[in-house]
A and B are shown apart, each in its own frame.
Chain A
Amino acid sequence: MGKVLAFIETRDNKIKNSGFETASAAVKLAGETGSEAVAFLIGSALSGIASELGAYGIKKAIVTEDQRFEKYSTTAYSKIIAQACKESGADVILLSATSMGKDVSPRISAKLEAGLVADCTEIKVESGNIIATRPVYAGKAMVDVKVCSTIKIFTLRPNVFKPVKVDGVTTEVVKVTPDISDDDFKSQVKEIVVNNEKLDVTEANIVVSGGRGLKGPENFHLVEELAKVLGGAAGASRAIVDAGWRPHSDQVGQTGKTVAPNLYIAVGISGAIQHLAGMSSSKCIVAINKDKDAPIFQVADYGIVGDALEILPVLTEEFKKVLSN
């Protein structure tokens, strides 16, 4: 039986939450197929962080460090992940469907001539076959997919596979020297521009999004204040992005970002199909809209039919109150 190789994403030499998700998913899948989960980490100075994966059941981690890996390079990362797959004898590679995972995985697929199923929301084993489920048509349908090649690659939609802690596992960390030359860095990240430390909608556990029902950009602070009190991120419908109230990086939906937080609060958003495409897999959806027939109520778990401008400040105060207790 082969192995399940889990590519664990790091940022600033720390394991990202999506990395723990990938680790847990790999441990679970390896358990179901009777194989072994091996973690793979790339970085410039990872100083022992791989051992943190023991808490998620990873018994072995391969770490490769090189000064040149300080910033991401599509060409170099894909080469050494493919190498790690071959050297470890893995027949499954799991990655998170983050911007890095989505960027690097097809290149690995081409190198290994291995089928890739992107953005999976479920992976199960049925009579020995791995079946991945993923949304298509922006979440309007789901498909079950089987990979026909010997090596199989899956990327996991962030926030869907939860990290699971297990007791009593320690990680054996193996360092390997990458077989890489300067020529492999044909594309190279030079600089990362952070949106003033703002939490991204795709990484937040709670997202509060506003739409045209807020009436004007001057009212958007009501959404931001609620998001802040909840420790979440503020998102936007396309209508208000197009109107210039918010940057495109905040847009949720088919032509914006896909989010799957624990809680999504849609304020003054009608719930057009293209908006739903980006948020309908959220665990709990709350809608605040003054039109009781707005389509957003069809996907909402809870709703208040009323004026957002009146309700938002009261809601923020109420959360402040209960959260401080």
Chain B
Amino acid sequence: MKIAVCVSQVPDTTTKVKIGPDGKSIDPSGVTYIINPYDEFAVEAALQFKEKHGGETIVVSVGKDSNKEAIKKSYAMGIEKGIHVKTDVEMDSYAVARNIADLLKEINPDVIFFGKQSIDYDDSQVGSLVSEMLGIPSITVVVGIEVDGNKITCEREIEGGKEVVEATLPAAITTQRGLNNPRYPNLKGIMQAKSRPIEERQPTYTGNKTEIIAMTLPKPKSKGKIVGTDVSAVPELVKLLREEAKVI
């Protein structure tokens, strides 16, 4: 089995967003970058897949030099091989997916894991885009996986419940929190990750389908009203919700 996993590198969840000088992206100064949290579930899923069904694991990341950190984190967890498609061009999900798809066509994986979304642009697109470009089925927002021969059955989260979805391999899976508990890299893993080579590639596609024309900060809320400091405030709160906010 060939098992691929795609990872992105994103600003840490506690980042305070400041708009950069171009007015279209964030000011990166002082921002700490981490592997996309959902991609840790994808890496863990790839490792568990290998442990159960055998095969080799390979991680792919498209982006700046700093994306190597996400590959190294995957190495430290146990992924064996890594490819970095190096580019400083800002790519949208479509362009990222095209680069991944072009690369994976060569590799021909039996299963590809993605996170359910990158927490920078919150797009939730790349996994499904890549699978359509490769002509294979996809199952998104997955919280449970079972494999039987070339049949893969997953549970995916939907509004108010779960769907049980069946597909045949090769297939792409996007992972949701709850699927597994990503392992912590041990010291040996971290040491080995440092020296393990990362194959570098040039992008095969750079045409974006979408263009960000402006980034703004959400309008600050006018300061809320503290209605009171104990139960005596309850009737007033209910009155305000009915008569002023008109939400009840």
Majority DSSP secondary structure for residues of A touching B: mixed
Q: Is A161 on the interface with B (CB-CB < 8 A)?
A: no
**Which residue of B126, B164, B208 contacts A190 across the interface (Cβ within 8 Å)?**
B164
Total A-B contacts with CB atoms under 8 angstroms apart? 268
Q: Chain B residue with minimal CB distance to A273?
A: B14
Interface centre among A117, A187, A203 (most CB of B within 10 A): A187
B17 touches A107 (CB 8 A): no
User: A186-B137, A189-B165 known; A302 and B227 CB under 8 Å?
Assistant: yes
Q: Give, as a whole number of angstroms, the nearest-CB distance from A172 to chain B.
A: 31
B165 touches A190 (CB 8 A): yes
Interface residues of B in 198-248 (CB under 8 A from A): 208-218, 221, 224-231, 233-235, 237-238, 240-242, 245, 247-248
**Which residue of B94, B131, B153, B241 contacts A115 across the interface (Cβ within 8 Å)?**
B94
Task: Give every chain B residue within 8 A of A298 (Cβ-Cβ).
Answer: 221, 224
**Which residue of A100, A248, A262 contacts B177 across the interface (Cβ within 8 Å)?**
A248
Interface centre among B132, B140, B215, B217 (most CB of A within 10 A): B132
Q: Chain A residue with minimal CB distance to B221?
A: A299
B26 touches A280 (CB 8 A): no
Task: Give every chain B residue within 8 A of A280 (Cβ-Cβ).
Answer: 218
Binds A, one of B72-80, B81-89, B154-162, B185-193: B154-162
Q: Give, as a whole number of angstroms, the nearest-CB distance from B150 to chain A.
A: 12
B224 touches A301 (CB 8 A): yes
Task: Give every chain A residue within 8 A of B241 (Cβ-Cβ).
Answer: 263, 284, 286, 302
B218 touches A304 (CB 8 A): no
Q: Give, as a whole number of angstroms, the nearest-CB distance from B218 to chain A.
A: 6
Interface residues of A in 160-192 (CB under 8 A from B): 186-192
A74 touches B230 (CB 8 A): no
How would residues 206 to 250 of chain A score, 1 for a CB under 8 Å from any chain B CB and 0 otherwise?
Answer: 100000000000000000000000100000000000000000110
Q: Give, as a whole number of angstroms, the nearest-CB distance from B89 to chain A.
A: 15
Q: Is B123 on the interface with A (CB-CB < 8 A)?
A: yes
**Which residue of A137, A144, A256, A322 contacts B26 across the interface (Cβ within 8 Å)?**
A137
Q: Give, as a whole number of angstroms, the nearest-CB distance from A305 to chain B.
A: 5
Q: Give, as a whole number of angstroms, the nearest-CB distance from B25 to chain A.
A: 9
A318 touches B218 (CB 8 A): no
Majority DSSP secondary structure for residues of B touching A: mixed
Assembly CA distance A98 to B157 (angstroms)? 11
Task: Give every chain A residue within 8 A of B15 (Cβ-Cβ).
Answer: 137, 140
How would residues 138 to 151 of chain A score, 1 for a CB under 8 Å from any chain B CB and 0 otherwise?
Answer: 11111111111100
Q: Is A72 on the interface with B (CB-CB < 8 A)?
A: yes
Task: Give every chain A residue within 8 A of B1 (Cβ-Cβ).
Answer: none
B245 touches A284 (CB 8 A): yes
What range describes how many residues of B lie at the interface? 35 or more
How would residues 42 to 75 of chain A score, 1 for a CB under 8 Å from any chain B CB and 0 otherwise?
Answer: 0000000000000000000000000000001011
Q: Chain B residue with minimal CB distance to A103?
A: B140
B210 touches A142 (CB 8 A): no
B228 touches A110 (CB 8 A): no
Assembly CA distance A188 to B234 (angstroms)? 50
Task: Give every chain B residue within 8 A of A192 (Cβ-Cβ).
Answer: 158, 161-164
Assembly CA distance A200 to B159 (angstroms)? 6
Q: Is B48 on the interface with A (CB-CB < 8 A)?
A: no
User: A137-B120, A188-B166 known; A103 and B128 CB under 8 Å?
Assistant: yes
With A115-B209, A301-B224 given, name 5 new contacts (CB 8 A): A74-B137, A102-B140, A135-B218, A190-B165, A302-B225
Interchain residue pairs with CB less than 8 A apart (5): A107-B138, A189-B165, A304-B233, A315-B234, A323-B248
Interface residues of B (CB under 8 A from A): 11, 13-17, 19, 24, 26, 37-38, 92-94, 97, 119-129, 131-133, 136-141, 143, 153, 155-168, 171, 177-178, 208-218, 221, 224-231, 233-235, 237-238, 240-242, 245, 247-248
- 9 closest A-B pairs by beta carbon, nearest first, are A115-B209, A110-B132, A106-B128, A187-B137, A200-B160, A187-B167, A186-B137, A140-B17, A99-B158
